[in-house]
Each structure stands twice: as C-alpha cells, then as structure tokens.
Amino acid sequence: MKPYGAQCALYGLFVVLSVLFTMFSALSVSDFLKILFGTEEAAAPAATGNLVAILLDKLYVWLISFGKLNALLLFSGIIFVLYSLKNVFSYLSTVEIAVIRSNVVRDLRNKLFHKAMHLPMSYYDRHRKGDVMTRFTSDMVEYEEGVINSIQTLLTSIISMVLFLGMLFYINVKLTFFVLCMLPLVAFVISGITRKLRRKSKKAQEMNASLISLTDEAIGGLKVIKAYTAIDFSNKRFQEYNKGYTRHRLHLRRRIDAASPVSDFLGNTIVIGILLFGARLVFGGDQGLTSELFISYVMLFVLMIPPAKELTTAISQMKKGQACADRIEQFLAEEEEKGVQESAVEQEEAQDNSAVSLQHVHFSYNADTEVLHDINIDVPRGTTLALVGSSGSGKSTIADLLCRFYCCTQGKIFLDGIDINTMPLSELRSRIGVVAQDTLLFNDSVAANIAFGKPGATDDEIVAAAKAAQAHEFIMNLPDGYQTNLGEGGGLLSGGQRQRISIARALLRNPDLLILDEATSALDTESERRLQQTLDQVLEGRTAIVIAHRLSTVKNADRIVVLDSGRVVESGTHAELMALGGRYSELVALQSL
C-alpha cells in the first residue's frame, strides 16, 4: 500500500470525521435526556467540570431557551445533520479504500505474472503447474479477503478505538482505566483462539494447491484414465484427498468463527462492569460525571464495541491470510532468469567464425546426473546441422541450452562469435527462431499468432512469412482469412497446418539461427512429406539446427551429429555415416524395418 500513501491519508481523514460525528451524536444524548426530563427554565451554563460537560451544558441552555417542544425539534435537526455527515464521510472512506484495494490487488497480480514470465524453466521442472496456478487464483482471493480486507478493517477499527478511548479518558479517567484493566483478559482469550491460524492456513493452501494439481492431471489425462478403466480409482483418490482438505478447512473455520462471539460476550461483560462501577462514581459525586454524561459515556463505549470486535476478527483473518501472503512472497522471492544487461559483461570472441559453436559443454539438471558430456559442435553460417539419436540422448537439451532456458554447467556456447552468457536474454532469443514438436497457438487470429514474436509486423510482412512457410493458401481458405480465430490451442487446424503457422511465426523474425525441434514427428507420413518440402525451401541458405527422430527428414542436412547418452559418437554427412556403418546406420536400419 506504500505507493498509495496519499489515498490512505485521505481515507484516514474520512474515517476520523465519520467517527467524530458519531461521537458528537452520542454525547448530545445527555442534552436530550435533560430536555425530556428537566424543566423549561433556562439556567446559567456550568463553569466547572471538563470541557465536554461545559459545552454540552451550554448547548442545553441554548436549546431549552426555545421551550421544551421547540428544543426537541431543534435537537432532532442537529442529530439529523450529525448522522448525515457521519454517513457521508463513511461512504467516502468506503469508496476511497475500495480504490486502494483494487489497485493493490491489480499491482500484485501484475507482479505475480511478471515473476511467472521471468522464472527459469528449472523452476517449473521442480513445481507442479497446479501449485503455480493456485498463487493466481485461491491464494489471491484469500489474500484479498484475509489480508487486504483485514488491513482496511484494522485501520478503521484502530482509528475508531483511539478516538473513542481518547474521548472516554477525557470524560472520566477512573472509569476508563477500569475498562482498560479488563482488556488484557479479552486479548488473552482472543490470542488463544487465533494463535495457530497462520500455520493451519498455510497447510490448507498447500492442500488446495495439491487438489488443483490432481484435478488438472485428471482432466489432462482423461483419455488415459478412460482407456485403463481407472475412473473409479481416480474418483476414490480425489474423494479421499478432498475429504482431508474439507476436514482441515472446517477445523480452521471453527477457530475463525469463534473469535467474534467470544469477543462479543466479553464486550457485554465489560459493559455490565462499566454500569456498576460508573453508577458508583455518579452516586459518589465524581467531579464532571453527571448522570446524563454517564449515559453518553456508556453509549460511546457501546459504539466502541463493534470496532473492537472487528479488530479481533481482522486479526484472526490476517493470521489466516498471512499464510497466503507467505506463499505469494515466497513466489515473488524466487530467483529470476539471469539476463545479462548490455555492456554489463565484456563480450568474448570465439576462436572460429562459426554461426554456432559449442565448446566443451557439460550440463546436468541436478548434481547427481550429468546429461551432456564434453560436447563440441560447430555450425558454419548458412548450413544445416542435424542432431539425431535415441530418446534421452540430449538433443532437445542442446536446443534448450542455445536458448538459455538452462545454463551449461561447464564449457561455453557462442552465437556469431559471442558467448551467449554475455548477451542480454532479449537479444539472444530475438536472434533465434524455434519450431517445436508441440506447437502452441493462442486463442487469437491467424495474423496475431504469426506476429506473436514481432507485434509491430505489417500485414505484408505477415503474408510474406506465411507464403515462405507454404501456409498462405490454406489460410486464405479459412472463413475470415488471416483474421480467423483459431480457438483454444489452434484446434481449428490440422497438425500440419499448425506447424506451418509456427514456422511462419519463426520466419517473421528473420532469425540468425532457426531451431527445428522434432517439427514433423507428430505428423502422418503424407503430412510429413509435404511439410518437409516446405522445410527444405525454408532452410535453404539459413543457419539451422534440426532435431529429429525420423531420419528421413535429415538426409539432406549439411552435417549430421549423432548423440548417444549425452556424448557425440559420430559426425558427418548422411553418405559418410552410412559408409561408416556405426550408430547412425543402426538407427537408419531400425527405422527402415
């Protein structure tokens, strides 16, 4: 709330004015009682007692001078004005805090999304998608209701209680000290109820995240569940977990709901104590505390009970909401991708003039297992390098390292003679175009999907990229051409068409390096053949790295590197490797069978 200090101050001012007019209304009750039960004779105002008593006495003298009936009418008009002003300022404070709350939640959501976009891929390898999504959904809802809303209640309650207590002290110090002596008992009881809320709430949010992950996995894998007739198993697993989560939430709610009635009971107990002790002071002739003023005192204390009760409720809600705040803060504190700023690190020149050069590259996802072992690869400009090998040999890992989704544990990677670790991430990735096996298209128009990597692209540039990817013809046959909405995940298109859109998106950026990661493996033979013809035209004269399982797609590559268990075991053209009769020829023979 720091950026909204001025609005918070204005909110505080409105709350103060609202409470002041409430107090004036309560204090004036003493004059109403005097008018109702006193005589019509106007007496001189009292000169003794505290200022409140003197001012109220002067008001009474002025009102009674008009006669009882007229005095009551005037008094009603004064009360009407006071309550109207109180309601006006109460409304203004509500409007002001609503703006602050909305802006705070908006800013926090923006921070969460910014953090999610800048976290390294390794973070998502370690955490479930449901746990991340919970930060944006239920955690944010709990945070707004439990923390932001409680802060609002807390501020209002504290301001109200300070003003009420100040006035109570001014009216009578002895009676107010008596009240304060009873408050520690209330605080002790309430703290006992709310003490474990933060820990229990954090566990509830973690259980909720697991429940969302379970749901997401079940819906995503529904075909597998149905195929293996595992619906009953999935239902039972979900119901067991949901039962535990519900039981924990109920236990949590009982603790929260207990705070308000307990504080209400204790507040009423204090009121009885005030009536007994205050009556004794009035009967004893305590200076300044008249019977009418004592009634106003009791009314002020009764008016202070709701904010006191709201204060205890807000504290218990904040204890609960703090668990969500902890999870959000933990997410925001995660280390982001290290994007080197321009000129921050001296750029190191490679020893050769290759477009891409991997020199003694080692990589491991964890400390125990190394995935790549001493990889040395050079890709001259304008040539196509193919990476082949069995699953798990490290082909896609090399592509991830080139894009700096991960950083190699040893060795260096150069792009056009520059160490990629010294390049700003935005510059590095703007020079690379990636076409992956799992094509991701957004729920937007064809044009917007092609221009995704270059938002300022003109219509002519988009059409040119589509033509280069052999996609223009089928796009024009769509209902609205380039403005056709593709639906969720591009569901309106076939697999080959989606890949062509993906290729057009990569070509629009005119990248220095084009990476094709299993771009045809999900297609049938006929679609693969047509797409391969497109790729042959696209790759002509470009620097490209092609990763493929189907070796028929890499026969025309300028050079083929064979990987096995994270090591380079062979390198050469298709003809050279076939003549060698090694691992590559084994893979070709297996695929021929």
311 within 8 A of 150, measured Cβ to Cβ: no
Query: Which region among 8-12, 48-52, 402-406, 508-512 has the lowest average model confidence (pLDDT)?
Result: 48-52
The token duo for 259 is 């705070």
pLDDT tens profile 153-196: 888 888 888 888 888 887 778 888 887 777 677 667 666 666 66
pLDDT tens profile 364-408: 887 778 889 999 999 998 888 999 988 888 888 898 899 888 888
The pLDDT-based confidence of 361 (bands split at 50, 70, 90) is very high
244-276 residues labelled b (16+ CB within 10 A) or e (exposed): ebeebeeebeebbebbeebbeebbeebeeebee
CA gap 591, 593 in Å, rounded: 5
288-316 residues labelled b (16+ CB within 10 A) or e (exposed): bbbebbbbbbbbbbebbbebbbbbbbbbb
For the chain, the first-to-last Cα distance in angstroms comes to: 67
Share of the chain residues as helix, strand and coil, in percent rounded to the nearest 5: 65, 10, 25
CA gap 349, 331 in Å, rounded: 37
CA 407 vs. chain centroid, Å, equals: 27
Asked whether the predicted pLDDT for residue 342 surpasses 50, the reply is no
Q: What pLDDT is recorded for position 53? A: 61
Query: Which region among 236-240, 345-349, 458-462 has the lowest average model confidence (pLDDT)?
Result: 345-349
The token duo for 243 is 């039962």
DSSP 8-state code for residue 299: H
Residue of higher predicted confidence among 8 and 283:
8
CA gap 404, 415 in Å, rounded: 12
Asked whether the predicted pLDDT for residue 40 surpasses 70, the reply is no
Asked whether the predicted pLDDT for residue 315 surpasses 50, the reply is yes
Asked whether the predicted pLDDT for residue 348 surpasses 60, the reply is no
Q: What pLDDT is recorded for position 561? A: 92
pLDDT tens profile 77-113: 878 888 888 889 989 988 888 888 888 888 888 888 8
pLDDT tens profile 526-539: 666 776 777 777 77
Q: What pLDDT is recorded for position 38? A: 58
When pLDDT is averaged across residues 292-314 and rounded to a whole number, the result is 78
CA gap 307, 283 in Å, rounded: 30
The pLDDT-based confidence of 498 (bands split at 50, 70, 90) is confident
CATH fold for the domain made of 356-592: Rossmann fold (3.40.50)
Residue of higher predicted confidence among 16 and 182:
16
Give the dihedral of Cα atoms 89, 91, 93, 99; nearest 10 deg: -150
Residue of higher predicted confidence among 368 and 515:
515
Matching residue, tokens 């002067």:
58
DSSP 8-state code for residue 147: I
When pLDDT is averaged across residues 556-579 and rounded to a whole number, the result is 89
Residue of higher predicted confidence among 361 and 542:
361
CA gap 486, 505 in Å, rounded: 15
This prediction has a pTM of 0.68
Asked whether the predicted pLDDT for residue 126 surpasses 60, the reply is yes
158 within 8 A of 318, measured Cβ to Cβ: no
pLDDT tens profile 418-453: 888 888 888 888 888 888 877 778 888 889 888 887
Q: What pLDDT is recorded for position 344? A: 40
The token duo for 342 is 């321009």
Q: What pLDDT is recorded for position 275? A: 79
362 within 8 A of 372, measured Cβ to Cβ: yes
- What dotted CATH number matches 126-330? 1.20.1560.10
The pLDDT-based confidence of 350 (bands split at 50, 70, 90) is very low
SS3 annotation, 88-110: HHHHHHHHHHHHHHHHHHHHHHH
Q: Give bridge partners of residue 372 from the DSSP assignment.
A: 363
CA gap 507, 514 in Å, rounded: 8
SS3 annotation, 152-197: HHHHHHHHHHHHHHHHHHHHCHHHHHHHHHHHHHHHHHHHHHHCCH
Residue of higher predicted confidence among 40 and 556:
556
The token duo for 431 is 């020079």
The pLDDT-based confidence of 360 (bands split at 50, 70, 90) is very high
pLDDT tens profile 188-247: 766 666 666 666 777 777 787 778 777 877 876 776 777 767 788 888 888 888 888 888
568 within 8 A of 394, measured Cβ to Cβ: no
Nearest CA among 318, 304, 11, 301 for reference residue 154: 318
